[in-house]
Amino acid sequence: MVKSTSLLATLPSDLERDRLPRHVAVIMDGNGRWAKQQGMPRVMGHRRGVDSLRDLLRCCKDWGIPALTAYAFSTENWGRPSHEVDFLMTLFEQVLRRELAEMMAENVRIRFVGNLDALPPSLQAEISRSMNDTKNNQDVEFTVATNYGGRQEIIQACRAIAQKVQQGQISLDQIDENLFEQHLYTSGLSNPDLLIRTSGEMRISNFLLWQMAYSEIYVTQTAWPDFDREAFHQALLNYQTRDRRFGKVKN
Ligand code: IPE
Ligand code: IPE
Ligand code: MG
């Protein structure tokens, strides 16, 4: 489905290129409510949501934003009805298989973060393949959080570090923010400058708890399946009005 605003192929002139976020994170929320409003089953919202994500990824490439991280499935989302969970797992696998060639063509590197071992084996296989095939691509660093929970990520980092201490590989005083970050799933990735949440909820729902310490938060009422380039343009315009102080005062 081609969206009307897909004409925004180049960076809109009211955005300042040198003040764009370098890393955008997105909580893709509201698929179920969107579908219900259209009189469709919730899962149809997930299907339509894939189109929004595909276009946002292309938009990041077109507008020169080098990193995008999307929240696809949380550790808490296992609590949904099993038919919805099964639908999502199958959808992820189908989309990955279908979009791999396009990601290669667009020079996108895809990476998955989360507790991937608990995903269906066939999905794990597609994940490994896509990460491996795209590992040298450099235009956009695309991270998909799947079976991801911020608390779980922090716990697994603690365990990995504790094990190294126990085995004498590192000493207690070597544990600092830098070392801790190296044990997170997002190791090597910059922290998000901007978090976008669609569909109105003012919460972070266990997403990137450590990494978002100083992210700018933008919440839009627009549901994820309706989030298009114009909606992203509005988010970026809003971002460019922010005064990022990082706890300091102005000179
Ligand atoms: C977000 O949409 C997608 C996932 C969590 C997988 P929802 O499914 O949460 O949609 P709402 O919030 O119920 O409308
Ligand atoms: C957050 O949305 C998770 C994803 C978008 C994958 P939820 O719909 O699960 O969050 P809550 O339940 O509204 O906090
Ligand atoms: Mg939701």
Split at pLDDT 50, 70, 90, the class of 3 is very low
Q: Is residue 231 part of a domain?
A: yes
Split at pLDDT 50, 70, 90, the class of 162 is very high
CB-defined site of ligand 2, < 6 Å: 27-29, 71-74, 77, 201, 203, 205
pLDDT digits (tens, 9 = 90+) for 112-138: 999 999 999 999 999 999 999 999 999
Q: Which ligand is nearest to the CA of 201?
A: 2
Write the burial class of residue 207 (CB in 10 Å: 0-12 exposed, 13-18 middle, 19+ buried): buried
For residue 2, pLDDT over 70 is answered with no
The rounded distance, in Å, linking the Cα atoms of 36 and 167 is: 53
Containing structural domain, residue 235: 19-149+192-239
Ligand 1 pocket test, candidate residues 26, 27, 28, 31, most atoms within 8 A of CB = 31
C-alpha distances in Å from residue 123, one per residue of 69, 126, 147, 164, 232:
19, 5, 12, 31, 29
pLDDT digits (tens, 9 = 90+) for 173-208: 999 999 999 999 999 999 999 999 999 999 999 999
Q: For residue 29, indicate whether it is catalytic.
A: yes
Active-site choice (77, 115, 191, 206): 77
Q: For residue 14, indicate whether it is catalytic.
A: no
Report the domain count for the chain.
1
C-alpha distances in Å from residue 240, one per residue of 26, 27, 190:
17, 20, 19
Backbone angles phi, psi at 85, to 5 degrees: -60, -45
The per-residue pLDDT for 163 is 98
pLDDT digits (tens, 9 = 90+) for 73-114: 999 999 999 999 999 999 999 999 999 999 999 999 999 999
Q: How far is the CA of 97 from the centre of ligand 1 (A)?
A: 23
> The domain spanning residue 135 has which CATH number?
3.40.1180.10
Q: Which ligand is nearest to the CA of 88?
A: 1
Percent of the chain with pLDDT over 70: 97
Active-site choice (29, 55, 193, 228): 29
Q: Within 10 Å of residue 6's Cβ, how many Cβ atoms? A: 15
Q: How high is the mean pLDDT of the chain?
A: 96
Q: Is residue 80 part of a domain?
A: yes
- Reduced to 3 states, what is the DSSP secondary structure of residue 26? strand
Ligand 1 pocket test, candidate residues 26, 27, 29, 88, most atoms within 8 A of CB = 29
Average the pLDDT over 24-31 and give the result. 99
The per-residue pLDDT for 248 is 97
Q: Is residue 158 part of a domain?
A: no
Q: Is residue 3 part of a domain?
A: no
The per-residue pLDDT for 81 is 98
Sheet of 108-113: strand order equals 108-113, 140-148, 67-74, 23-27, 194-197, 216-219
Ligand 1 pocket test, candidate residues 26, 27, 33, most atoms within 8 A of CB = 33
Q: Is residue 249 part of a domain?
A: no
Backbone angles phi, psi at 177, to 5 degrees: -60, -40
User: Closest ligand 1 atom, CA of 28?
Assistant: 1
The per-residue pLDDT for 65 is 98
Q: pTM for the whole thing?
A: 0.97
Q: Is residue 167 part of a domain?
A: no
Average the pLDDT over 44-48 and give the result. 98
Q: Is residue 185 part of a domain?
A: no
The per-residue pLDDT for 5 is 47
Q: Is residue 106 part of a domain?
A: yes
For residue 250, pLDDT over 90 is answered with no
